[in-house]
Amino acid sequence: MPTKVLEISTVQDKEVGIPMYSSSPAAGFPSPGDDNIEGSLNVHDLLVKNPTSTFFVRVSGDSMEGKGIFSGDVLAVDRSLEVKSGRIVVAAVFGEMVVKELKQKDGKCFLYSANSEYAPIEVSGADDCFIWGVVVGSVRQFLV
């Protein structure tokens, strides 16, 4: 299934900081007893640089799995960033919201999936296509 936007939410001021430990856990043998707290981490500090132009979307589908975007992920999208070739964008194409990589080739614009099962979408100024913003990060839940 192509990756689509399921819901959109705006950034709200969240001042809640969660402790951030100074160690980086290895994927192998654990390091004994590291309880040093580096400071607080607010997820907004990682994902939101421009609060007035940032929004979140939840996606559905498998077309962007090759870029690490999976169904159910929440993406942070910044409307103030320059839209240019090679960036992952949220776009409205023919009335449908999609997440794709924008590529420009030979003066033409294409929206590419990161799954070879989906063909690129060629878009032009005459097409019904609007870029909503550039994807700057994502959040994934493992347990609900």
Here the CATH number for the domain that contains residue 46 is 2.10.109.10
Task: Please give the residue range of the domain that contains residue 98.
Answer: 4-10+40-139
CA pair distance 97, 90, nearest whole angstrom: 7
State whether the Cα torsion 136-6-58-54 is positive or negative.
positive
Check 40, 53, 84, 100 and give the catalytic one: 100
Check 63, 67, 113, 138 and give the catalytic one: 63
Catalytic residue status for 80: no
| Structural contact between residues 77 and 136, judged by C-beta atoms closer than 8 angstroms | yes
Full-model pTM: 0.74
Rounded to 5°, the CA angle 135-140-141 comes to: 155
Domain count, the chain: 1
Q: Structure tokens of 15?
A: 């001042």
Pairing type for strands 121-123 and 108-112 reads antiparallel
| Structural contact between residues 93 and 128, judged by C-beta atoms closer than 8 angstroms | yes
pLDDT tens over the chain, length 144 residues: 565 555 555 555 555 555 555 555 556 555 555 566 666 667 777 888 888 888 888 899 999 999 999 999 989 999 999 999 999 999 988 888 999 999 988 888 899 999 999 999 988 766 678 889 999 999 898 876
Catalytic residue status for 103: no
Residue 33: inside a domain: no
